[in-house]
């Protein structure tokens, strides 16, 4: 394995509180040295001047459609897309076909991930058998096989008693329960956020309260059980307020939001572009502002992508017939740079904590840090790079993003996983 020397980048690691220009020497799969002006012959050198060098980013929430829909994504194509977006670790949700609810399927994910050899892929296993919401899966066997958490994502666990038992049982293994907080009865299969824009467009709305009702229920259950609750894709002001209050009370909850919820507001739906149809829906400007405040004050722990590939034929339908979801790996950093860094003036350290140390802690992994001896998972970001995602350049097998052919700022240019360069974009 060739050694790598990353020269002259601004090294930012929220965990070890690094933020300075350093060289980093990688030996085999470990960080061997961090210092000023490291010289070494016979190494692959990466010129990182003007770039951000940070711990490999971790996405707690993505959909790889594998097994089941290889036309939309596979472990390999998803992995390729992830490393192109700067993610060295991704957690894939179990709403596949079949659902990841057995030891064998967890092994399958690991096997495919090893074969693809792109990034670390950790399965989140189903909370309930076949994701049917009735009986909990064999958490013990699944954790033993490598599941890092449990979720019925795509569906809420509607039965409060089942969810209570899942939370209680997870305590044996100290793993998080990832909830998809949407009350399906209130959401009524809504196409977009319920509000002024849905009223204008005549599209069925999914109200913010559909999310908040479940967030409130789950926070009570988390308090009651003392288990680790992780709330997925938080999108509303009410949810942020509830979670903020719960954290003050000391309830063991973490949560994530996604770039689409801090970058867009529901006005974009007036285009009827089905790529904006996501679940939960893109919310109002008030909600968007509240999400940004939640990111700023630490209420929101993580930024995840909810990367959700769909084939062109499914998205090229009239709005009501198209499925929910947009791809997200490759554009995540652009939306972070354009909105949170450039407009909202977040510090890089704060942003990166939500992509490195925080998600690593949630899944109990010793990743997401740059220090001597640590595993060499590293992401290099060019915060000024202008680029356009195009049909030809998107690595995901699916192209369902409203950002297609739009000029973006900020891009991952290098991704190193376990000491190996898995993605590098020459200038």
Partner 1 sequence: MSPKKDLLGIETLSVKEITQYLDLADRFAAVLERPIPIVPSLRGKTILTLFFEPSTRTQISFSIAAKRLSADIVNFSQVTSSVGKGETLLDTAKNIEAMKVDGVVVRHVAPGAAKFLAEKLNAFIINAGDGGHEHPTQALLDLMTMRQHFSEFKNLKVLIVGDIEHSRVARSNIYGLNTLGAKVAICAPPTLVPLNIEKLGAKVFYNLDDIIGDFDVVMALRIQLERQDTGLFPSIREYRTLYGLTKERVGRMKPGSIVMHPGPTNRGIEIDPDVADSDKSVILTQVKNGVAIRMAVLFIHCGGRLG
Query: Would strands 44-47 and 253-257 be described as parallel, antiparallel, or unpaired?
Result: unpaired
* CB neighbours of residue 17 within 10 Å: 8
Q: How far apart are CA 93 and CA 100, in angstroms?
A: 8
Give strand pairing partners of 18: 13
Under 8 Å between Cβ of 371 and 300: no
Determine the 3-state secondary structure of 201 from DSSP: helix
Q: What's the rounded Cα separation, in Å, for the pair 34 and 11?
A: 9
Residue 126: other Cβ atoms inside 10 A? 30
Binding interface with partner 1 (CB under 8 A): 194-196, 198-205, 207, 272, 313, 316-321
Q: Please tell me the distance from the alpha carbon of residue 206 to that of residue 281, in angstroms, as a whole number.
A: 7
Contact (Cβ atoms closer than 8 angstroms) between residue 71 and residue 267: no
d(CA 256, CA 251): 16
**Mind giving me the DSSP string for 270-313?**
GG--GGG--SSPP--HHHHHHHHHHHHHTSS-EE---B----HH
- Taking the least distance from each CB to partner 1, the nearer of 95 and 198 is 198
Q: 4-13 and 44-47 as β-strands: parallel, antiparallel, unpaired? A: parallel
Q: How far is the CB of 389 from partner 1 (least distance, A)?
A: 20
Q: Which is nearer to partner 1, 404 or 409 (CB)?
A: 404
Tokens of 250: 């000391």
Q: Which residue out of 13, 183, 301, 306 is catalytically annotated?
A: 306
Q: Which is nearer to partner 1, 164 or 399 (CB)?
A: 399
Is the preceding omega at residue 67 within 30 degrees of 0, hence cis? yes
Strand order in the sheet with 87-92: 57-62, 87-92, 120-123
Is the CB of residue 92 less than 8 Å from the CB of residue 124? yes
How far, CA to CA in Å, does 80 sit from each of 49, 73, 114, 118, 395? Answer: 25, 10, 13, 6, 6
Closest distance to partner 1 from the beta carbon of 134 (Å): 26
Does residue 306 carry a catalytic annotation? yes
Cβ proximity to partner 1: between 132 and 196 the closer is 196
- Cα 95 to chain centroid, rounded: 15
Look up residue 291 and give its two tokens. 């999400």
Nearer Cβ to partner 1 (160/321): 321
Q: Which CB atom, from 212 or from 339, has the smaller least distance to partner 1?
A: 212
* Residue 288: CB minimum distance to partner 1, A: 17
Q: Judged by CB, which is closer to partner 1: 26, or 203? A: 203
Shortest distance, CB of residue 356 to partner 1, whole angstroms?
A: 39
Q: How far is the CB of 263 from partner 1 (least distance, A)?
A: 22
Write out the two tokens for 418. Answer: 């376990």
352 exposed, middle or buried (CB, 10 Å; 0-12, 13-18, 19+)? buried
CB of 97 to partner 1, least distance (A): 16
Q: Would you say 249 or 316 has its CB closer to partner 1?
A: 316
Residue 241 CB, shortest distance to partner 1, in Å, is: 20
Q: Facing residues of 57 across strands?
A: 87
Report the nearest approach of partner 1 to the CB of residue 257 (Å).
23
For residues 194 and 208, what is the distance between their CA atoms, to the nearest angstrom?
A: 7
**Which residues carry out catalysis?**
306
């Amino acid at each position: 394995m060739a050694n790598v020397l990353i020269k002259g980048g601004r090294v930012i690691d929220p965990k070890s509180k690094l933020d300075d220009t350093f060289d980093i020497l990688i030996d085999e799969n470990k960080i061997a040295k961090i210092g000023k002006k490291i010289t070494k012959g016979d190494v692959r050198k990466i010129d990182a001047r003007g770039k951000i060098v940070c711990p490999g980013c971790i996405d707690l929430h993505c959909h790889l459609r594998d097994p089941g829909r290889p036309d939309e994504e596979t472990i390999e194509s998803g992995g390729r897309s992830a490393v192109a977006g700067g993610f060295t670790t991704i957690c894939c949700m179990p709403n596949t076909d079949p659902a990841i609810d057995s030891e064998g399927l967890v092994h399958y994910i690991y096997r495919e991930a090893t074969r693809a050899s792109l990034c670390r892929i950790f399965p989140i296993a189903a909370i309930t058998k076949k994701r049917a919401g009735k009986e909990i899966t064999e958490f013990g066997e699944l954790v033993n096989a490598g599941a890092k958490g449990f979720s019925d994502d795509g569906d809420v666990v509607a039965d409060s008693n089942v969810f209570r038992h899942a939370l209680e049982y997870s305590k044996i293994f100290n793993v998080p329960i990832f909830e998809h907080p949407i009350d399906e009865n209130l959401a009524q299969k809504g196409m977009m956020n319920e509000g002024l824009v849905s009223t204008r467009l005549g599209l069925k709305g999914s109200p913010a309260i559909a999310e908040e009702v479940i967030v409130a229920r789950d926070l009570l259950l988390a308090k009651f059980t003392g288990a680790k609750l992780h709330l997925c894709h938080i999108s509303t002001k009410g949810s942020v307020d509830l979670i903020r209050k719960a954290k003050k009370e000391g309830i063991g909850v973490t949560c994530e939001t996604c770039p689409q919820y801090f970058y867009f507001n529901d006005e974009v739906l007036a285009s009827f572009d089905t790529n904006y149809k996501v679940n939960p829906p893109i919310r109002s400007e008030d909600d968007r502002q509240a999400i940004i405040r939640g990111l700023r004050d630490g209420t929101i722990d993580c930024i995840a992508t909810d990367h959700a590939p769909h084939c062109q034929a499914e998205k090229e339908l009239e709005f009501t017939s198209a499925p929910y979801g947009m791809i997200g790996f490759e554009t995540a950093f652009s939306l972070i740079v354009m909105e949170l860094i450039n407009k909202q003036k977040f510090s890089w350290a704060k942003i990166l904590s939500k992509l490195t140390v925080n998600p690593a802690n949630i899944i109990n992994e010793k990743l997401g840090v740059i220090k001597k001896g640590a595993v060499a998972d590293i992401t290099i970001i060019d915060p000024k790079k202008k680029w356009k995602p195009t049909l030809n350049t998107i690595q995901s097998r699916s192209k369902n993003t409203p950002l297609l052919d739009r000029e973006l700022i900020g891009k991952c240019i290098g991704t190193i996983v376990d000491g190996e360069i898995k993605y590098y974009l020459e200038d």
